[in-house]
């Protein structure tokens, strides 16, 4: 049996897998594309054609854009005048304005101002061929009725919102308003109208808010005026009741307390000063004659003069006493005068002492008087403390009501100004103009989407076809799935005109009836020896010849999984080819359930294999010979009443017959029945050298073949190889490039072969 060569070393297999995994993956995708190329081209072409059809039938749409900005400088300019407490514009505020632009209030205002309810574009059927078809289909299943005014407005609103787009330019206060319409002029007009309606709506909203606030402020101001007046009157009445007099923002008793306290401090200082002078004078009284510093400090001219005289006389007395003695009359007189001066000085100091004492007594008396006054003022202040607490509360209430009144009065004046001068932060910075180029449908985008969608759909369909394509199409599939070699791929042959079967005669000389005709498909290799089909059959014969090196391979049996896969055609052409090459070959029809080969080649044969096995006739009497190729054929014989054909094929007589054929012929080709419907093939393993398994290209299911071979290991062990029959050469080129028509036509023509 010819087997697929398998790796013999685990290391070599790992190395090959690591080295070729990426390339094999890419190659597998390329193979899928090559195999499914016509389908993919058809799908992509259909999608592109649909895209082109859509471009030709879709009504062109034009988009015009207008730009507006939220002017923050204007907000800051009028911020101090705003009575509604406007806040600075931030990103959230701009997004809010975008949603306001998209609101139904703005849309309905534009629809009303431009009379879009009367425009067929907004209340008629959808534009384009598709819209017309859908509208017509909808009318078939629903009753038509005239739309009410409300329904027309809602329909126009839906169309309007569908064609309108409002976006904010990221990072700015600029908003773009775009509108799409079949008419470019209408698109620009509506885009500008949306911005104008938004600005008017903002002005109207602020005017209404200001007006409502003014009315509310008027009522509130009246109420606050009454409350402020009542609070102020309560303060005045409380002061009168509690004898509280306010002088320069301070209560009188507080002012008196401060003044008396200041006087007490001054009186205490004066008393301390008088006391200090008196104490100093008492110290001076202890001296006979005050020194110069004391005299100068007293600032008394009398004492100063007396002291000067005393000093002068003391000097003279010391001189006279030293010169004439202490008892001298002049010295005595001087000492008498000095004593008199001392007495005068003491008298003057005593007088000054009495003056200081009088000042000290006056200061003490004054201090005591001020202390008494302070005690009286403190007593009076304590009596009014509780009244002052309540007074402060009344004054605080009065000030609060007055402040609120002033604030609301100011706001009211601002609201009056804003009613006469309304402002808005939004302004248009770019007017929408009539577009010159359509915005929808975008030809390149539609074609790109059609092409890309076609490629994606084609890829999906191709993968689906690959996943669901559970049939044999390539030699690699056969080798990987079944583990045997694919010895040949036979191209599909169309039914050609047939000729006469003159030359086919039985040994007795009886010829075939002239009414019968020879089917050319069963001897195609004879009439077309240089065809691709004949070359593929030669591959089968070469495989059989090479296999004889290992074991005897003279008895070849052809079988298939299901009927009509071409096993009989291969059997006949293989036998014809070998016989035409000069070998002794016999073709045996072993399909006793359905002897189609016998009916096609020798429909008038009365005896055959069954009769030889039953020993009713001799082998020579049942054989037919082709005079051109010298091929011998043994038909099936009469099989209509046979019930157990497998017993016949498994009989000893059948084995003896095959043994006899081995001795007389070089090749014994047996056309066996298919394996799936009957079990006849399995009983022939004892006398068949090799089996040729025929599979119909692109038709035979892989799982069916697997099941049949798995249940018949004796057949699988003797498989010579697999033949893929009825292959479509054009399609085969997409699965295996070396099997392509171009390859064979090019090199067949070089060597004189014909297709």
Taking the chain (755 residues) in runs of 10, the rounded mean pLDDT of each run is 43 49 72 80 92 87 91 53 51 86 92 91 68 58 70 91 92 91 92 92 82 79 84 79 62 71 85 82 71 59 80 84 82 84 82 84 86 76 66 80 82 68 78 88 89 91 83 85 89 56 39 42 86 89 84 88 90 92 92 88 87 90 88 86 83 92 93 89 90 91 89 89 88 67 48 47
Distance CA 719, CA 717 (A): 6
Q: Confirm if 752 and 515 have CB atoms less than 8 A apart.
A: no
Q: Which residues contact 709 (CB under 8 A, 6 or more apart)?
A: 482, 715, 716, 719
> What is the DSSP secondary structure assignment for residue 684, as one 8-state letter?
G
Residue 397: C-alpha distances to residues 193, 222, 402, 403, 406 (Å): 54, 17, 8, 10, 14
In a 3-state reduction of DSSP, which class is residue 614?
Answer: coil
Of 28, 3, 37, which Cα lies nearest the Cα of 740? 37
pLDDT value at residue 739: 53
Q: Could you give the 3-state DSSP secondary structure of residue 606?
A: coil
Instruction: Record the tokens describing residue 225, joined without a space.
Output: 């005026």
φ, ψ (nearest 5 deg) of residue 587: -105, 115
Q: Judge whether 580 and 629 are in contact, CB under 8 Å.
A: yes
CB 719 within 8 A of CB 559: no
Three-state DSSP class for 36?
Answer: coil
Distances from the Cα of 100 to the Cαs of 75, 127, 202, in angstroms?
19, 29, 10
Q: Which of 204, 203, 205, 215 is nearest to 415 (CA)?
A: 215
- Is 701 strand, coil or helix? strand
Count of C-beta atoms within a 10 Å radius of residue 393 = 13
Residue 626 main-chain phi, psi, to 5 deg: -85, 115
CA 531 vs CA 528, 544, 558, 727, 737: distances in Å: 5, 20, 22, 14, 19
Q: Contact at 8 Å (CB) between 504 and 512?
A: yes
| DSSP bridge pairs for 589 | 671
Encoding tokens for residue 610? 């069954």
Name every residue whose Cβ is closer than 8 Å to that of residue 741 and which is 6 or more positions away in sequence. Answer: 729, 730, 733
pTM here is 0.54
Q: Is residue 257 within 8 Å of residue 385, measured between CB atoms?
A: no
**Side by side, which strands form the sheet with 62-70?**
164-168, 174-181, 62-70, 426-430
Which residue carries 């090199």 as its tokens? 747
Alpha-carbon separation of residue 128 from 46, 435, 611 (angstroms): 20, 20, 79
Between CA 510 and CA 290 the distance in angstroms is: 196
Maximum alpha-carbon separation in the chain = 223
Query: Given this model, what pLDDT does residue 86 score?
Result: 47
The pair phi, psi for residue 720, each rounded to 5°, is -70, -35
Query: Residue length, the chain?
Result: 755
Note whether 222 and 412 are within 8 A (CB): no
Instruction: Give the Cα-Cα-Cα angle 410, 413, 418 (nearest 5 degrees).
Output: 125
Phi, psi of 342 (to 5 degrees): -60, -45
**Closest to 429 in 3D by CA, of 63, 70, 62:** 70
Strands 690-696 and 719-727: parallel
Hunting for tokens 């071979």 — which residue is that?
709
* Distance separating alpha carbons of residues 463 and 474, to the nearest angstrom: 17
The residue behind tokens 């790109």 is 448
Nearest to 166 by CA among 198, 123, 206: 198
Rg of the Cα atoms in the chain: 67
574-577 long-range CB contacts below 8 Å, 24 or more apart?
A: 574/537, 574/540, 574/541, 574/669, 574/692, 575/631, 575/633, 575/667, 575/669, 576/522, 576/523, 576/525, 576/526, 576/626, 576/629, 576/631, 577/525, 577/534, 577/537, 577/538, 577/541
Rounded Cα–Cα distance for residues 70 and 374 (Å): 70
User: How many angstroms from the chain centroid is the CA of residue 633?
Assistant: 75
355's enclosing H/E stretch is helix 329-420
Which tokens go with 503? 């030359």
Tell me the CA distances in angstroms from 363 to 197, 275, 347, 452, one per residue in order.
Answer: 91, 9, 25, 116
Q: Can you tell me which residue has the tokens 């000063």? A: 273
Where b means 16+ CB within 10 Å and e means fewer, 305-331 reads ebbebbeebbebbeebbeeeeeeeeeb
Whether 513 contacts 736, CB under 8 Å: no
pLDDT of residue 45: 93
Strands (E), 42-101: 62-70
Q: How far apart are CA 599 and CA 637, in angstroms?
A: 10
């Amino acid at each position: 049996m010819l087997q697929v060569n398998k790796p013999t070393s685990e290391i070599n297999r790992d190395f090959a897998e690591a080295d070729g995994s990426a390339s094999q993956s890419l190659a597998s995708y390329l193979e899928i594309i090559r195999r499914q190329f016509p389908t993919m081209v058809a799908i992509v072409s259909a999608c592109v054609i649909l895209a082109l059809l859509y471009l030709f039938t879709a009504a062109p749409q034009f988009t015009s854009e207008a730009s507006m900005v939220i002017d923050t400088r204007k907000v800051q300019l009028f911020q101090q005048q705003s009575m509604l407490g406007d806040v600075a514009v931030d990103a959230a505020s701009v997004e809010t304005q975008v949603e306001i632009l998209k609101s139904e209030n703005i849309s309905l205002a534009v629809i009303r101002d431009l009379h879009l309810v009367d425009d067929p574009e907004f209340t008629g059927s959808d534009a384009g061929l598709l819209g017309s078809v859908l509208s017509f289909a909808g009318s078939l299943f629903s009753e038509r009725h005239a739309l009410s005014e409300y329904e027309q407005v809602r329909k126009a609103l839906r169309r309007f919102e569908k064609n309108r787009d409002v976006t904010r330019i990221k990072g700015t206060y600029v908003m773009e308003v775009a509108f799409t319409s079949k008419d470019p002029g209408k698109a620009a007009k509506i885009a500008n109208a949306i911005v104008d309606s938004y600005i008017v709506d903002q002005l109207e909203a602020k005017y209404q808010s200001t007006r409502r606030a003014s009315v509310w402020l008027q009522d509130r101001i009246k109420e606050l005026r009454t409350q402020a007046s009542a609070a102020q009157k309560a303060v005045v009445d409380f002061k009168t009741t509690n004898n509280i007099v306010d002088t320069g923002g301070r209560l009188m008793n507080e002012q008196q307390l401060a003044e008396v306290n200041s006087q007490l401090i001054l009186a205490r200082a004066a008393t301390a000063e008088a006391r200090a002078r008196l104490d100093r004078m008492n110290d001076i009284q202890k001296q006979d004659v005050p020194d110069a510093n004391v005299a100068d400090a007293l600032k008394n001219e009398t004492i100063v003069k007396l002291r000067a005289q005393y000093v002068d006389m003391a000097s003279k007395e010391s001189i006279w006493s030293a010169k004439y003695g202490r008892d001298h009359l002049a010295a005595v007189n001087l000492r008498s005068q000095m004593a008199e001066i001392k007495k005068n000085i003491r008298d003057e100091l005593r007088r000054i002492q009495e003056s200081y004492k009088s000042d000290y007594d006056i200061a003490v008396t004054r201090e005591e008087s001020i202390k008494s006054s302070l005690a009286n003022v403190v007593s009076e202040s304590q009596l009014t403390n509780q009244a002052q607490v309540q007074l402060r509360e009344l004054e605080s209430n009065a000030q609060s009501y007055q402040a609120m009144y002033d604030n609301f009065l100011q706001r009211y004046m601002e609201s009056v100004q804003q009613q006469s001068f309304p402002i808005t932060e939004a302004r248009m910075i770019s007017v929408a103009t009539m577009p010159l180029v359509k915005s929808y449908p975008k030809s390149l985008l539609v074609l790109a989407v059609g092409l890309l969608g076609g490629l994606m759909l084609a890829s999906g369909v191709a993968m689906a076809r690959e996943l669901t394509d559970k049939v044999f199409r390539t030699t690699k599939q056969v080798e990987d799935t079944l583990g045997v070699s694919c010895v040949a791929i036979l191209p599909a042959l169309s039914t050609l005109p047939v000729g006469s079967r003159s030359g086919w005669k039985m040994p007795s000389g009886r010829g075939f009836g002239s009414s019968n005709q020879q089917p050319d498909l069963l001897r195609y290799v004879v009439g077309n020896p240089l065809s691709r089909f004949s070359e593929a059959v030669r591959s089968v014969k070469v495989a059989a010849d090479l296999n004889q090196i290992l074991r005897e391979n003279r008895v070849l049996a052809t079988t298939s999984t299901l009927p009509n896969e071409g096993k009989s055609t291969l059997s006949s052409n293989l036998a014809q080819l070998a016989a035409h090459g000069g070998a002794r070959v016999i073709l045996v029809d072993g399909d006793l359930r359905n002897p189609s080969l016998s009916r096609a080649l020798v429909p008038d044969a009365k005896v055959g294999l069954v009769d030889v096995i039953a020993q009713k006739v001799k082998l020579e009497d049942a054989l037919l010979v082709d005079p051109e190729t010298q091929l011998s054929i043994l038909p099936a014989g009469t099989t209509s009443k046979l019930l157990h054909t497998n017993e016949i094929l498994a009989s000893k007589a059948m084995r003896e017959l095959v043994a006899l054929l081995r001795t007389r012929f070089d090749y014994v080709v047996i056309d066996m029945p298919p394996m799936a419907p009957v079990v006849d093939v399995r009983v022939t393993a004892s006398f068949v050298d090799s089996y040729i398994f025929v599979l119909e290209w692109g038709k035979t299911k892989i799982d069916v073949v697997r099941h049949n071979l798995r249940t018949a290991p004796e057949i699988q062990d003797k498989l010579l190889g697999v033949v893929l029959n009825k292959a479509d050469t054009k399609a085969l080129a997409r699965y295996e490039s070396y099997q392509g028509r171009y390859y064979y036509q090019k090199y067949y023509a070089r060597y004189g072969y014909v297709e």
